[in-house]
């Protein structure tokens, strides 16, 4: 049984309320933090080796130490709760159950960075979570845990929740900042990075919900204790939102380093594939990371078992590896059509492209149209090559990573499942009856 740092008390009835949360030891860590020196807190986070949980995996402690500290200029900590990646729902789960853990983490983080005001930017679709957070903040203000002279230490701190308009792109940190300022959510061109010029041109740190929550156990137990969990440079625990054709989909807190096979098949976690089908493919970290076929997700190309960690999942580069990303673990069984799945992803990126830079604006729509054509049975073999060419011309040419996120699923699907695309092209009539489709692919013995 792995250790639980964030979800330890999540099933306590009424944990959403301040009183119950404090009974479980809540806000004790904030008290401890306020007695520490801010630099020491940053040092603890650095020691913990905590890596950003939003997707890129950049070390949080390093991000904090990059924050510019000019005199007389306010600094801001912004919590990125704009969780919109298909397949990822860990932050929503945590916020609707443990809003005070986020508030405590925000207070500790803001104290460490010297911020007087901080923001939680939450996506617009999560209106009910917004209300839960707002109620929790009101409770915390009433109890003197936010506002003026917190816990009698003389430190003033304000926390606001800001509701976005419901755009995936606002999960990109500079677009989030633009949106927070009240502008159109378009990513900024970097440099300057938010650590130098962020919200209202002031130094800003943007962190994922889970990263901020993880600061609480780090400060409570010390960075070294946190670093002792996990494997190599992937320290601590990670929330994985497992979905797809699983017996027990849901949010799991794992110690990084659990083998993928154990995560999928053990009863402690997902419990295996639904209806005892065979595993076909896994998207390991939210829709934007490359999809891997079963043989490559369970074992690396070198034949070693793959672990749930930043390094192990990325082993082999994009040729035979993927990324841990945001922890959106999408499992597909043998009956799933990769092409249909890819079309769904691409349609999402087409819809969510902000339209600022041309490769992503035009390319995502083009890829979606081609995939739709293939699915309709009108595709040609050259369409598959064209798709490959388009994705290679989007990747790395855009302002923000949305272009890459749209290109990687297409690239990996063609790389590992080209035969399926070709099958769609070769049998335009037959693919409309799914039975035939599964038979020719030799996927489901009972259908053959």
Chain residues binding another protein by CB under 8 A are 167, 169, 184, 189, 350-359, 361-366, 369, 386, 389-390, 392-394, 396-399
Do 255 and 240 meet the contact criterion of CB atoms below 8 Å apart? no
Least separation in angstroms between residue 440's CB and another protein is: 27
Nearest residue to 215 (alpha-carbon basis) of 20, 395, 38: 38
C-alpha 178/C-alpha 184 separation (Å) is 7
Least separation in angstroms between residue 358's CB and another protein is: 5
Least separation in angstroms between residue 157's CB and another protein is: 33
Least separation in angstroms between residue 356's CB and another protein is: 6
Least separation in angstroms between residue 23's CB and another protein is: 46
Looking at beta carbons only, is 162 or 397 nearer to another protein? Answer: 397
What residues does 292 pair with on adjacent strands? 282
Looking at beta carbons only, is 352 or 420 nearer to another protein? Answer: 352
What residues does 167 pair with on adjacent strands? none
Do 74 and 119 meet the contact criterion of CB atoms below 8 Å apart? no
Least separation in angstroms between residue 353's CB and another protein is: 4
Task: At 426, give phi and psi (nearest 5°).
Answer: -75, -35
Looking at beta carbons only, is 48 or 288 nearer to another protein? Answer: 288
Give the burial class of 275: count Cβ atoms within 10 A of its Cβ; 0-12 exposed, 13-18 middle, 19 or more buried: exposed
Measure CA of the first residue to CA of the last residue in the chain; give whole Å. Answer: 41
Looking at beta carbons only, is 166 or 222 nearer to another protein? Answer: 166
Give the burial class of 303: count Cβ atoms within 10 A of its Cβ; 0-12 exposed, 13-18 middle, 19 or more buried: exposed
Looking at beta carbons only, is 105 or 379 nearer to another protein? Answer: 379
Least separation in angstroms between residue 365's CB and another protein is: 4
E strands within 46-116? 76-81
Looking at beta carbons only, is 133 or 169 nearer to another protein? Answer: 169
Q: Where are the alpha helices (DSSP H) in 194-293?
A: 209-221, 223-228, 260-265
Looking at beta carbons only, is 5 or 339 nearer to another protein? Answer: 339
C-alpha 428/C-alpha 438 separation (Å) is 14
């Amino acid at each position: 049984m792995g250790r639980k740092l964030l979800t330890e008390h999540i099933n306590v009835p009424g944990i959403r309320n301040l009183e119950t949360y404090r009974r479980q030891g809540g806000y004790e860590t904030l008290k401890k933090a306020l007695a520490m020196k801010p630099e020491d807190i940053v040092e603890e986070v650095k020691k913990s080796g905590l890596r950003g949980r939003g997707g890129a995996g950049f070390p949080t402690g390093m991000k904090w130490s990059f924050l510019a500290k000019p005199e007389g200029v306010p600094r801001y900590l912004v919590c990125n709760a704009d969780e919109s990646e298909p397949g990822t729902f860990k932050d929503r789960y945590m916020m609707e159950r443990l809003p005070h853990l986020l508030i405590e983490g925000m207070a500790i983080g803001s104290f460490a960075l010297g911020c007087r005001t901080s923001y939680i930017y939450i996506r617009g679709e999560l209106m009910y979570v917004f209300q839960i957070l707002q109620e929790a903040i009101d409770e915390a203000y009433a109890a003197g845990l936010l506002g003026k002279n917190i816990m009698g230490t003389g430190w003033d701190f304000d926390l606001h929740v800001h509701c976005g308009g419901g755009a995936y792109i606002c999960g990109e940190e500079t677009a989030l900042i633009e949106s927070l300022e009240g502008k159109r959510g378009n990513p900024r061109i970097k440099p300057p990075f938010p650590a130098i010029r962020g919200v209202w041109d002031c130094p800003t740190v943007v962190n994922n919900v889970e990263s901020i929550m993880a600061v609480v156990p780090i400060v409570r137990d010390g960075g070294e204790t946190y670093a002792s969990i996990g494997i190599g440079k992937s320290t601590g625990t990670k929330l994985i939102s497992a979905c797809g054709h699983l017996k027990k989909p849901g949010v799991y807190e794992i110690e990084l380093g659990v083998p993928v096979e154990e995560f999928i098949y053990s009863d402690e976690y997902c419990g295996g594939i639904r209806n005892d089908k065979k595993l076909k493919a896994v998207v390991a970290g939210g829709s934007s990371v490359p999809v891997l076929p079963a043989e490559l997700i369970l074992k690396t190309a070198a034949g070693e078992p793959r672990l749930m960690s930043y390094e192990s999942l990325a082993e082999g580069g994009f040729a035979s590896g993927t990324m841990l990303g945001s922890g959106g673990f999408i499992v597909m069984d043998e009956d799933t059509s990769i092409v249909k799945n890819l079309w769904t992803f691409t349609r999402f990126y087409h819809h969510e492209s902000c339209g600022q830079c041309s490769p992503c604006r035009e390319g995502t729509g083009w890829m979606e149209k081609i995939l739709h054509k293939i699915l309709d049975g009108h595709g040609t073999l050259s369409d598959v090559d064209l798709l490959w060419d388009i994705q290679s011309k989007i990747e790395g040419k855009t302002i923000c990573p949305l272009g890459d996120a749209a290109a990687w699923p297409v690239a990996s699907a063609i790389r590992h499942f080209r035969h399926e695309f070709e099958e769609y092209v070769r049998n335009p009539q037959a693919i409309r009856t799914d039975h035939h489709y599964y038979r020719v692919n030799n996927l489901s013995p009972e259908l053959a």
